[in-house]
Amino acid sequence: MRGEAEARVLELRALIDEANYNYYVLDAPTIPDAEYDRLLRELQVLEANHPELLTPNSPTQRVGASPLKDFQQVTHAVPMLSLNNAFSEAEVAAFDRRVREGLEKDEQDEVEYAVEPKFDGLAITLRYEDGAFVQGATRGDGYTGEDVTANLRTVRAIPMVLAGEGVPRVLEVRGEVLMLRRDFERLNQAARDKGEKTFANPRNAAAGSLRQLDSRITASRRLSFFAYGLGQVEGLPPEEALPATHSATMDWLAALRFPVAPQRRVVQGVAGLMAFFTELGASRETLPYDIDGAVYKVNRLADHERLGFVARAPRFAIAHKYPAQEELTTVEAIDVQVGRTGTLTPVARLKPVFVGGVTVTNATLHNEDEVRRKDVRVGDTVIIRRAGDVIPEVVSVVLERRLCPTPPSFDMAKLYPVCPVCGAPVIRLEGEAAARCTNGLACPAQRKEALIHFASRRAMDIDGLGDKLVEQLVDKGLVHTPADLYGLTHPQLADLERMADKSAANLVAAIAASRGRPLARFVFALGIRHVGEQTAKDLARHFGSLDALMAADEAALLAVPDVGPVVAASIAAFFAEAHNRTVIEALRQAGAWQDGEARPAVAAGPLAGKTLVLTGTLPTLSRDEAKALIEAAGGKAAGSVSKKTDYVIAGADAGSKLAKAQELQVTVLDEAGFMQLLKGELN
């Protein structure tokens, strides 16, 4: 029966659209994948049997259609303009001043702004007629763009049909198409596995995917979308009015089931704008997508008309940009740096470039395989990325700009048969990515790095003992081992370059103050390979004294939770080394640590005896804060999931640990669940 089939088709579309909305827009799936697949298949079968019921906006059409020859041009009914940029508080204040002048506001009268992230993707416009998606286009030059309707149909977060009251006859919604970082990583990984070209960043990947003539390719790429404004609006039903503010417009779009920025907010005046900028900046690294700034819009739409446009940008809005995280520069040389454990890390020496808020002259190339994979050569133009506090890295080579003929590619074994610092042989063990200097602490480079690590905040925390000082101390032969630090005198230090009397005194005091640190810190400070902060804590707690730890053989070490054969062997080898025992004895004489745990396990806390593993990014707690909470409640924060794990606390972008937890059926909690657990409300 046709009528029955039609009713079921409509019902199925509603169910599938609902599931898509919950999954792709709200990020809160409501039905299992298998059920979703069943509904979709049922709809496909019905549409195949009743071709007259098929519509371009059916959820079955999101998989892409046959390739186009080229894109049609689309003239935008309302131009898609761009925003002026501000790069400093002064420029933001100047923008606010111009707005207040334009609106003839008093000195004290603050302007209300709607604020949101500036998504780093591509601007598009979506045209709906009578509630149905009819056309989607790129921004192009702002007046004419390209018709990418077929491609946009594959973006699950974009509604194909608008439901609800008050939908105008013509509605254009504007926003940004982007690729989530995790989808970008997955895409690049797949390309690498197949030996294909990778994309430099999510924005390029989104652009490349949106401009595919074959929409089936776009469908396989998983693009996302966020709406941030309106274009043409016509034929509003009688009795209906458009919202009077930008923030209410966003709420309306959200009600129409468009994805809108979850961080959007309404603030007052420059102080409100700056507070939002700082707050958004702090969360930038943990967002699932790239943003390159914040956008500020005068909230009252009537004011937009009063303010108008200058050239091609509105006076009522501005983009406040974060310093760029990626820039182009050239590779002047490829050197290696010798690290604390003797690892030779290839480093690109760069033509200085301002990126991520600082001038960068070096970028890590991680290891030899990575240099080969990226095929970085001296003279190449490269993309450098510096995000947050992360060490700058070479993202990729701009091959189009490579000079010919090319210099040979990097070959560690040929270039560095011996350590460039001490001349000892370099080896690369089977199955390891790193090449290493074999000279241990006799190598000055390793010695320096070992000292920097020893003094670092999470180790012995010697304030004021930075890289430059360590360099001088080692080069002048004043310090060979960490134990020598405790013998340094005020006159010796005051003699160093750029060392004032006062700073020398402070440093002597800081070194003295580092005496008597808890055993766990001291063990971490020793810089034993594979012994990070957590393992050091575990060892200190398990053995209670350095003598007991040093006396432990591999079997005894394996009894420590989370210590496996590789770690146990590394610890045993470290303490077997005569040189290390001598240094430790000297440190003992200097009183560098005290035995026992400084912070004994809380025996009675709600997590007493429990082992927890943290993974992914929690919405409000940092990794350190969560760890501190676990320990304060008597629990232990372990590094990996095993059968002994009681809970896994998972945040955004959790990876293999979460999978392992599910495999071992360990209870997984989110941050809210974790808080309940801490309060003893879960059991």
State in angstroms the smallest separation of the CB of 128 from ligand IVH: 19
Q: Where are the alpha helices (DSSP H) in 349-479?
A: 368-374, 412-415, 444-455, 467-475
Residue in 105, 118, 476, 679 annotated catalytic: 118
Among 228, 276, 593, 647, binds ligand IVH (CB under 6 A): 228
Question: Is-contact 612 646, C-beta < 8 A?
Answer: yes
Question: Is-contact 202 181, C-beta < 8 A?
Answer: yes
Q: Is residue 541 a contact point for ligand IVH (CB under 6 A)?
A: no
Q: Is residue 118 a contact point for ligand IVH (CB under 6 A)?
A: yes
Q: Using CA atoms, how far apart are residues 647 and 670, in angstroms rounded to an integer?
A: 10
Read off the amino acid at residue 437: C
Task: Kindly report the three-state secondary structure assignment for every residue of 268-280.
Answer: EHHHHHHHHHHHH
Q: Is residue 303 a contact point for ligand IVH (CB under 6 A)?
A: no
Read off the amino acid at residue 296: Y
Q: Given the complex with ligand IVH, which of 295 and 397 has the nearer CB atom?
A: 295
Q: Given the complex with ligand IVH, which of 117 and 339 has the nearer CB atom?
A: 117
Residue with tokens 């079921």: 8
Q: Using CA atoms, how far apart are residues 270 and 92, in angstroms rounded to an integer?
A: 7
State in angstroms the smallest separation of the CB of 106 from ligand IVH: 27
State in angstroms the smallest separation of the CB of 227 from ligand IVH: 9
Q: Which stretch, 77-85, 232-240, 645-653, 664-672, contacts ligand IVH (CB under 6 A)?
A: 77-85
Q: Given the complex with ligand IVH, which of 123 and 666 has the nearer CB atom?
A: 123
State in angstroms the smallest separation of the CB of 48 from ligand IVH: 39
* Token pair belonging to 550: 């040093």
State in angstroms the smallest separation of the CB of 291 from ligand IVH: 8
* Token pair belonging to 152: 């946009």
Among 136, 229, 339, 356, binds ligand IVH (CB under 6 A): 229
Among 131, 243, 281, 314, binds ligand IVH (CB under 6 A): 314
Q: Using CA atoms, how far apart are residues 224 and 187, in angstroms rounded to an integer?
A: 14
Q: Which stretch, 31-39, 78-86, 521-529, 611-619, contacts ligand IVH (CB under 6 A)?
A: 78-86
Q: Using CA atoms, how far apart are residues 456 and 462, in angstroms rounded to an integer?
A: 7
Q: Given the complex with ligand IVH, which of 82 and 640 has the nearer CB atom?
A: 82
Among 12, 16, 25, 83, binds ligand IVH (CB under 6 A): 83
Q: Is residue 176 a contact point for ligand IVH (CB under 6 A)?
A: yes
Total residues in contact with ligand IVH, by rule CB under 6 A: 14
Read off the amino acid at residue 215: S
Q: Given the complex with ligand IVH, which of 95 and 543 has the nearer CB atom?
A: 95
Q: Given the complex with ligand IVH, which of 256 and 318 has the nearer CB atom?
A: 318
Q: Is residue 119 a contact point for ligand IVH (CB under 6 A)?
A: yes
User: CB nearest ligand IVH: which residue?
Assistant: 123
Task: Kindly report the three-state secondary structure assignment for every residue of 367-380.
Answer: CHHHHHHHCCCCCC
Q: Is residue 327 a contact point for ligand IVH (CB under 6 A)?
A: no
286: which DSSP letter? G
Question: Is-contact 209 144, C-beta < 8 A?
Answer: no
State in angstroms the smallest separation of the CB of 148 from ligand IVH: 14
Q: Which stretch, 118-126, 196-204, 597-605, 674-682, contacts ligand IVH (CB under 6 A)?
A: 118-126
Residues 6+ away with beta carbon under 8 Å from 380: 330, 331, 397, 398, 401, 402
Beta strand extents in 494-587 (DSSP E only): 517-518
Q: Given the complex with ligand IVH, which of 314 and 634 has the nearer CB atom?
A: 314
643: annotated active-site residue: no
* Cα 174-278-107 angle, rounded to 5 deg: 85
State in angstroms the smallest separation of the CB of 654 from ligand IVH: 27
Residues 6+ away with beta carbon under 8 Å from 338: 344, 345, 419, 420, 421, 437, 443, 445, 446, 449
* Token pair belonging to 218: 């776009």
Which residue, 297, 296, 300, is CA-closest to 245?
A: 300
Q: Which stretch, 55-63, 117-125, 412-420, 619-627, contacts ligand IVH (CB under 6 A)?
A: 117-125
Which residues have a catalytic role annotated? 118
Sites of contact with ligand IVH (CB under 6 A): 81-83, 116, 118-119, 123, 139, 176, 228-229, 295, 314, 319
